[in-house]
Structure 1
Amino acid sequence: MIHFVLLISRQGKVRLTKWYSPYPQKERTKVIRELSGLILTRGPKLCNFVEWRGFKVVYRRYASLYFCMCINQDDNELEILEIIHHYVEILDRYFGSVSLLKLKSTLDIRFVS
């Protein structure tokens, strides 16, 4: 089960959030701060899975954005990586390389591996 989806820039700014489990606003802010600090400090050669608070956080970086999904411990991480990739492809087809969802800065989502 996906609990939430976060899009975070390399500077730590939140660009998009979607919550599928109930979190109070105070907890959401704490989660975003905690996860952005954890993910942004990881090296590029480390794996894209992080254990966090009894969940797994799967993330992938495209250009200057980190796409993060929080899932249950027993969910398949590779499937979530494919879901993230598919989501990015859809956004790229829909919005093109103009910008992602008209966010403050123009972000090219061309695939960076």
Structure 2
Amino acid sequence: MVLSFILIQNRQGKTRLAKWYAPYSDEEKVKLKGEIHRLVAPRDQKHQSNFVEFRGSSKIVYRRYAGLFFCACVDANDNELAYLEAIHFFVEVLDQFFGNVCELDLVFNFYKVSGEKSKRHRGQGQEEGVWGHGVISADKGQVYAILDEVFLAGEIEETSKQVVLTRLEHLDKLE
């Protein structure tokens, strides 16, 4: 099971996070981002699956949370359900780590402002669940660190939320 890339895009097609596990030129990356958005954005969430054939030898596994599409490009022979669950796991870890997370967390490079869960949090935030519209923002480096704890070199690395959160807490203490 190997990923080619992971993209997080909003409904307008703006890429909020991109992680490439296969070598692509800059032109190819731009082309892929547009192609993926045109492929998943118009799909009917209620009547179509979260898996789309892509360029013959690959599949796009995606899941929509609020206004964001989390997309992973996998081999056609890979287990789609494993990647669908891995995407959901990644979102759950983001939500737990940041208190509650929204699109702004992927856009701005501010440190989060949320409840009183740890010394990382400053001030008060809102509890709105997965991908709500809270007032927090995070450092993009933290988002990529979380992604790297879940997916490493295109493979699913860790499936235990507690293990990932413990590693992230240790990384946070080092900073």
Whether TM exceeds 0.5 here: the answer is: yes
**Root-mean-square deviation over aligned CA pairs:** 1.9
Query: Which AA in structure 2 matches 1:60?
Result: R
Structure 2 match to 1:80: 83
Out of 47, 50, 53, the residue aligned to residue 51 of structure 1 is 53
TM-superposed CA distance for 1:63, in Å, is 1.0
1:60–1:67 CA contact under 8 A, matched in 2: yes
Higher relative contact order at CA 8 Å, sep ≥6: structure 1 or structure 2?
A: 1
2:110 aligned with 1:110: no
Out of 94, 97, 101, the residue aligned to residue 100 of structure 2 is 97
Bigger strand share: 1
Unmatched 5+ stretches in structure 1: none
Residues 4-48 of structure 1, C-alpha deviations (whole Å, 9 max, x = no match): 000011121110000000000000000000110111011112100
SS of 1:22's equivalent in the other structure is: coil
SS of 1:82's equivalent in the other structure is: helix
2:101–2:131 CA contact under 8 A, matched in 1: no
Measured in 2, the distance between the counterparts of 1:98 and 1:79 equals 23
TM-score of the superposed pair, with normalisation by structure 2? 0.58
1:63–1:109 CA contact under 8 A, matched in 2: no
Query: Which AA in structure 2 matches 1:37?
Result: R
Measured in 2, the distance between the counterparts of 1:86 and 1:31 equals 24
Measured in 1, the distance between the counterparts of 2:12 and 2:129 equals 16
Kindly, what percent of the aligned residue pairs are identical? 45
Query: Which AA in structure 1 matches 2:98?
Result: F
Shift of the 102–42 alpha-carbon distance from structure 1 to 2, 3 Å rule, reads closer
Query: Which AA in structure 2 matches 1:49?
Result: F
Residues 37-91 of structure 1, C-alpha deviations (whole Å, 9 max, x = no match): 1110111121000001120000000111110000001100000011001000011
Bigger helix share: 2
Out of 66, 71, 74, the residue aligned to residue 63 of structure 1 is 66
Measured in 2, the distance between the counterparts of 1:59 and 1:47 equals 9
TM-score of the superposed pair, with normalisation by structure 1? 0.88
Between structure 1 and structure 2, the one with the greater Rg is 2
- How many matched pairs? 109
SS of 2:107's equivalent in the other structure is: coil
TM-superposed CA distance for 1:94, in Å, is 1.2
